Every structure is written in C-alpha cells, then in structure tokens.
C-alpha cells in the first residue's frame, strides 16, 4: 500500500516574491504537485508570486474559482479542487497548495483545509501577513507595549465597524473593495481620518500608499487595507 | 561628504531559521554591520535565529538590555544602542538590526526606530508573526470570512481582558509569562477554556502546544501565547 502524500499549505506573503520564507521555497521546489486557486479566465495571484521558483517537471493543478458573488459557486469550485488534490495525495504525491499571505489568516486555504484535513496529513507554513507588510510600507509602527490590535473585514455593518474602531489602539481594515466609502465615512465620523493610511497592493511594484481622503472610492481593489493608529505616542502622528 | 547608511529593521520570524524571508536573508548578508538586542549576560534570541547565515567579516553590534522590570533601564540601553548604530550610519555603513517576529508588531525595534528614523533612512522588512506561526502549529485556522481578530497583551487589567475576549472571533493573547494564571481565570469564567490553546516557543525545537488547563502557571515563559477561537464553524472545535 502506498503511503499517502502530505498537503502543504504554503503561506507566500503579500506579493513580493522576496517575502516568501526559506521554508516555503524549499517545500515548493520539492513538491511534485503545485496547486493554486485562480479566478475563472484570469491569472492566479498566488502562482504569480512564485512563478520564477517553480521547477520544470512539477504538475500544476489550477483550481478555477468563479467570481460569482454567490459564495456557493466558490464553495463548489473548492470541492472540485479538493477532490483533484485528494487524488494526488491518495497515490502518495505531496501537494504544495499556494496561499498568498498566511494560510490561516482570512485565506481561501481554509476551505481546502476543511475538506482535506480529516483525510490527509496537512502541514501549514505560516507566511508574512499583508497587515505587517502594510505597516512596514507606511513606516508607522503597528502596535507596541500594551496596545490592543484589532483586524476587521470592511464587510462588517457600520455600527460594529465604529465600535471596533473606537476600541483598539491599532486597527487594520481588510477587504475594502466596494466597502471603501462606508469605511471612510466611519473614520470621518470618529475623527480618525488623519490617523488612517490607505495601502493598496502592498509590496508589489504597483503598491500605493495614500491618505484616506485622497483615495478614489471607485478605484479601490480587494487587495487593499486601511491602517489606523489611535496611539498618542510620538510615532502615531508621524507623516508618511 | 559621505552618504549616510540605511538602517534595515529585519523581521526574522518566530524562531525557526527557515521562517526568515529571502529579503531578510539578502539584506542581512549584505550589511557591513549587524546589530541586535541581548539581555545583559545572556544570548540574543534574534541573533540565534540567523547565527548560521552571518558572514565572517561583519561587524557585530550587541545592544545590552538589562532585565530590570523598571522600563527606564531598557530605554536607557536602547538610547546607548541607537547612538552606537548612528555612528556607523553616519559614516555610510548600512546596519541590519535584527528583530524576532515582525519589527512593527510589539517589537523592541520600535524604540530604535523612534530614536533613529528622523536622522537616517530606515527600511523595515516585515516578518512572519508568532501569531500566524502559532495558528499554523496548532492546525486550527485563525480567522476567516467576516471574523474579527483581536490581539491583546496579557498585561491588560482583568476587566478589559474579559471584554476583549467576549468581543472577537479569534483572539491571540501575547506576553503571558507571569500573567498566565490571570488569563486562565478569565477564560474559565467566560467558558472559553475548551476553545483555547497554549503555544510556547512556537516553531523552535522545544515548541509545546497544550490545553490551557494542562499548563503549569509557574513554567510559562514570556515567549508564549494563547489562541482562542469563538467561531462556531466545524474547524473551531477540532482537537489538535
């Protein structure tokens, strides 16, 4: 009987290929099968991060994920993808599943993990989160000493978003996209606009860092975030 | 006139040397001066992460930090260290300042940054946070979809800690050390003990993962954390 393969969930960081870890690079190159999600008809962001590191004889397994707003379509796609991965694992082939950012931090890897972790050995390799990369890019420390850090998706209702913003020292608001205008209005009401920075496509050549007031709400991609600092220390008010 | 050097704040990740990024490795090896904090009389954790990667002709600059509980002693030590770093930067030598984890996420790098960023060019390289590494080690996803993630230091007063624990889907409680018993009592009162995992020295050979109830409060080091998941999804209750 063949021993089953291992599924490696590889965190690849925010996008700069140099921000992948030595461990992810080693496991990526050693894997006979490399799987990654990709929007139907489009290119895979996760694959683009490591395109220069792939080995020529690796089997590539593209998991097509439809961009339909109804999550049932994506879930069905992940089920199909998980089954394709399972077929390789079942015959003893390790599979490297590529994950932008960190696999267990708001990633689609969670769906695959939920579908495969009970049947196969899974090892998760943590990656640099876009939150830490965005703080580094803005040049403003995220949290220190007794600060509380809260990470919220922009999809939350206005009231909850405002409560969160009032309660933490450092806040990262993720998944902005079409929720940007709502978030900007919340920051404005709370008098936090001057303490907020908008970061788009962090660590990539097209990275942009803007004051929230200077952002065109119609141009905000999903891969963007706002960092807010409520601290009163000398660095919080520093201009970037 | 000599051009001034650049200070590189290198995030080195949680401790496993393989969890450093390609970028941190490149900048580390290229730096003529490598600086790191170390407890007086002890070894530097940050230096130990990259000990095998150092280049033989690099100048090492050890910043001795006394373990006195009065923070004024540490602050004075950082000022002395920053001045020693400044002398190299002023004559055009780049300095790599080693930071475990991520430099802008609860790191002592913040003090050096505060002292040097106005006088010299500083570039921060983000690292893998111990929070993401701990989630990977426990095999339980941290946050997904509309979850809110909160990161709190265990140093907070009991009431604030309990409010935070009640308000988030995913919680990481850092800097446990002598605060462990207080945190355990909070988790117990809120009925969250079964949803919490204790992770010590994550990613190192001596890593330990325990149920919170099984931890000896007198043995808890500073480099430990508790992860709590309040989600009701199928993975939250998974046993590790």
What would the pLDDT profile of A19-73 be if each residue is shown by its tens digit? 999 999 999 999 999 999 999 999 999 999 999 999 999 999 999 999 887 888 9
Note the Cα A34 to chain centre separation in Å.
19
**Quick one: tokens of A20?**
């992948």
The answer to whether the CB of A10 falls within 8 A of the CB of A28 is yes
pLDDT > 70? residue A219: yes
Note the Cα A230 to chain centre separation in Å.
24
Give the pLDDT score at B240.
37
Q: What does the alpha-carbon distance between residue B9 and residue A177 come to, in Å, rounded to a whole number? A: 31
Mind telling me how many Å the CA of B57 is from chain A's nearest CA?
23
Residue B120's Cβ-side half-sphere holds a number of Cα atoms within 13 Å equal to 28
The answer to whether the CB of A197 falls within 8 A of the CB of A211 is yes
For the beta carbon of residue A52, count every other beta carbon within 10 angstroms: 7
Give the pLDDT score at B27.
98
> Is A12 an 8 Å CB contact of chain B?
no
Give the pLDDT score at B213.
93
Residues B19, A16: C-beta atoms closer than 8 Å: no
Would you place residue B237 in the very low, low, confident or very high pLDDT band (cuts 50, 70, 90)?
A: very low
> Is B11 an 8 Å CB contact of chain A?
yes
Residues B103, A19: C-beta atoms closer than 8 Å: no
Give the pLDDT score at B14.
98
Domain boundaries, chain B: 6-125, 130-229
Span of B93-97, B141-145, B172-176, B182-186 with lowest mean pLDDT? B141-145
Sign of CA dihedral B189, A168, A174, B174: negative
pLDDT > 50? residue B100: yes
Mean of pLDDT values over B174-202: 95
Residues A23, B16: C-beta atoms closer than 8 Å: yes
The answer to whether the CB of B134 falls within 8 A of the CB of B18 is no
Mean of pLDDT values over A184-194: 95
Give the pLDDT score at A235.
41
Q: What does the alpha-carbon distance between residue B95 and residue B27 come to, in Å, rounded to a whole number? A: 9
Q: What does the alpha-carbon distance between residue B204 and residue B180 come to, in Å, rounded to a whole number? A: 21
Residue A143, judged by CB atoms within 10 A of its CB (0-12, 13-18, 19+), counts as buried
Residues B105, A143: C-beta atoms closer than 8 Å: yes
Q: What is the pLDDT of residues B15-51, one digit of tens each?
A: 999 999 999 999 999 999 999 999 999 999 999 999 9
Would you place residue A150 in the very low, low, confident or very high pLDDT band (cuts 50, 70, 90)?
A: very high
Q: Where are the beta strands (DSSP E) in B47-206?
A: 59-65, 95-99, 121-125, 149-153, 170-174, 196-200
Percentage, residues of chain B above pLDDT 70: 95
Phi and psi at A108, nearest 5°, equal -70, -15
Give the pLDDT score at A198.
97
Mind telling me how many Å the CA of B192 is from chain A's nearest CA?
19
Give the pLDDT score at A192.
93
Kindly provide the b/e burial profile for residues A70-80, where b requires at least 16 CB atoms within 10 angstroms of the residue's own CB.
eeeebeebbee
Mean of pLDDT values over A94-105: 97
Which CATH code for domain B6-125?
Answer: 3.40.1010.10
DSSP class of residue A142 equals -
pTM, two decimal places: 0.94
Interface predicted TM-score (ipTM) of this complex, two decimals: 0.94
Mean of pLDDT values over B214-220: 94
Q: Which CATH architecture has domain B130-229?
A: 2-Layer Sandwich (3.30)
Would you place residue A239 in the very low, low, confident or very high pLDDT band (cuts 50, 70, 90)?
A: very low
């Amino acid at each position: 009987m063949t021993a089953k393969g291992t599924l490696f969930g590889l965190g690849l960081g925010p996008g700069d290929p140099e921000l992948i870890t030595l461990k992810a690079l080693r496991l990526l190159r050693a894997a006979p099968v490399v799987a990654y999600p990709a929007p139907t008809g489009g290119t895979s962001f996760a694959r683009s991060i490591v395109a220069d590191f792939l080995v020529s004889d690796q089997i590539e397994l593209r998991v097509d994920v439809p961009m339909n707003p109804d999550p049932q379509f994506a879930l069905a796609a992940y089920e199909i993808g998980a089954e394709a991965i399972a077929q390789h694992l079942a015959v003893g082939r390790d599979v490297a599943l590529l994950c932008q950012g960190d696999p267990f931090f708001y990633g689609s890897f969670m769906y695959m993990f939920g579908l495969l972790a009970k049947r196969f050995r899974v090892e998760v390799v943590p990656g640099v989160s876009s939150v830490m990369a965005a703080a580094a890019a803005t040049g403003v420390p995220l949290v220190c000493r007794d600060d509380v850090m809260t990470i919220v998706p922009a999809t939350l209702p206005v009231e909850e978003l405002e409560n969160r913003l009032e309660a933490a020292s450092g806040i990262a608001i993720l998944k902005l996209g079409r929720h940007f205008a709502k978030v900007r209005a919340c920051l404005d009401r709370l008098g936090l606009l001057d303490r907020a920075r908008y970061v788009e496509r962090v660590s990539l050549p097209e990275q942009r860092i803007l004051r929230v007031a200077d952002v065109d709400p119609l141009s905000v991609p999903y891969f963007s975030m706002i960092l807010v600092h409520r601290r009163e220390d000398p660095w919080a008010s520093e201009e970037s």
